[in-house]
Structure 1
Amino acid sequence: MSRQRSLLSLVFVLLATLLISCGSPTVAKAPPTYTTAQLTKIQTYVPEIQAVRDRLDELKDLIQRKDWIFVGNFIHGPLAEARLDMTYVIPNLLPQDEAVARQTARDLFNHLVKIDQAATSGNSILALNNTQAVVADLDKFLNLLPKTSAEAES
């Protein structure tokens, strides 16, 4: 009987050792952060995107004057460049922001297409409505971007 108790104790010790070694404490992961390289790349394109965002009143004026040739030039010029800059920024965002940024860039493209179609047909109401959507898309995208220490201080 004493021998069985010793054997049973040994089995329990081995079982406990196995269970303890297989189970590890969960290590809390730090939230994802931007690397210096990512921040540098993002901040390279932000001023260009912001500059186009600040110029959208020009597009509204062109639409109100029904200057459709210059509306098309604005869409295919500065706004196309801003959209291209957005595609360079997106891979450098945090994973949770990247999906939202991609969808925002797609929405921006769709609104630009609608403005271009409205310019072709001379529909200023449709063009102005989509211009408002472009403003919202650019604002949404810019809000996803990380703030630098210089921006946070001001």
Structure 2
Amino acid sequence: MVRQRSIFSFFLVLLATFLISCSGPGVAVAPPTYTAVQLEKIQAYVPEIQAVRNRSQELTTLIKRGDWINVRNFIHGPMTEARLNLTYVTSNLLPNDQPKARQITRDLFNDLVKLDKATSAGNPLVALNQSQAVFAEIDKFFDLLPNTSSEAEAS
């Protein structure tokens, strides 16, 4: 009986040694990062989006004046182009950020539709609120963008 326990213990030690030697440290997966091409594509569109964002006061002034024709021109011109640029940028974001970016772009579109309806109805209060919502969506989108100054230094 003692001899059987010794042999059994010996095999357990061999099995444990084998299992420990076969297992290695886990492979560390680097977090996803932006490639130089992705950063370049993103940076191609950011100035155009930022230019529209910087014109928020202009839209507010047009709404307060009741200049509905120019408000609609602004919505269907620069704002729609900015929305299109957001769509182009979305495909170059990290995979984890793309669903958030798509949702922000959808919300922006819905806010633009509401702003257009308020403009058609000549309702300055709703139009002002919707214009603020539109620019808030753009700000949320900018939060998803990579900080290119630190990314460029790391490369």
TM-score w.r.t. the length of structure 2 is 0.84
Q: Which residue does the alignment assign to 2:100?
A: 100
Taking the aligned partners of 2:134 and 2:151, their CA distance within structure 1 comes to 24
Task: Return 108-117 or 8-17, whichever deviates more.
Answer: 8-17
Q: Which residue does the alignment assign to 1:19?
A: 19
Cα deviation for residue 142 of structure 1 reads: 1.3
Structural mapping, 1:23-62, within 5 Å: 23-62=23-62
Cα deviation for residue 61 of structure 1 reads: 1.7
1:152 and 1:62, CA in 2 relative to 1: closer, same or farther beyond 3 A?
Answer: farther
1:12 and 1:90, CA in 2 relative to 1: closer, same or farther beyond 3 A?
Answer: same
Structural mapping, 1:2-151, within 5 Å: 4=4, 7-9=7-9, 11-17=11-17, 19-20=19-20, 23-149=23-149
Taking the aligned partners of 2:116 and 2:151, their CA distance within structure 1 comes to 34
One-letter code aligned to 2:135: V
User: What is the Cα-based RMSD across aligned positions, in Å?
Assistant: 2.6
Cα deviation for residue 17 of structure 1 reads: 4.6
Taking the aligned partners of 1:150 and 1:120, their CA distance within structure 2 comes to 44
Secondary structure of the residue aligned to 1:96 is: coil
Aligned residues: 153
Q: Percent identity?
A: 65
Q: What is the CA deviation profile of residues 48-97 of structure 1, one whole-angstrom value per residue up to 9, with x for unaligned ones?
A: 10011111222112211212122111111111110011011112112332
Taking the aligned partners of 1:152 and 1:144, their CA distance within structure 2 comes to 17
Taking the aligned partners of 2:12 and 2:85, their CA distance within structure 1 comes to 63
Cα deviation for residue 5 of structure 1 reads: 5.3
Any gaps of 5 or more consecutive residues in structure 2? none
Cα deviation for residue 41 of structure 1 reads: 0.8
Taking the aligned partners of 1:139 and 1:123, their CA distance within structure 2 comes to 25
TM-score w.r.t. the length of structure 1 is 0.84
Runs of 4+ in 1 over 4 A off after TM superposition: 150-153
Secondary structure of the residue aligned to 1:26 is: coil
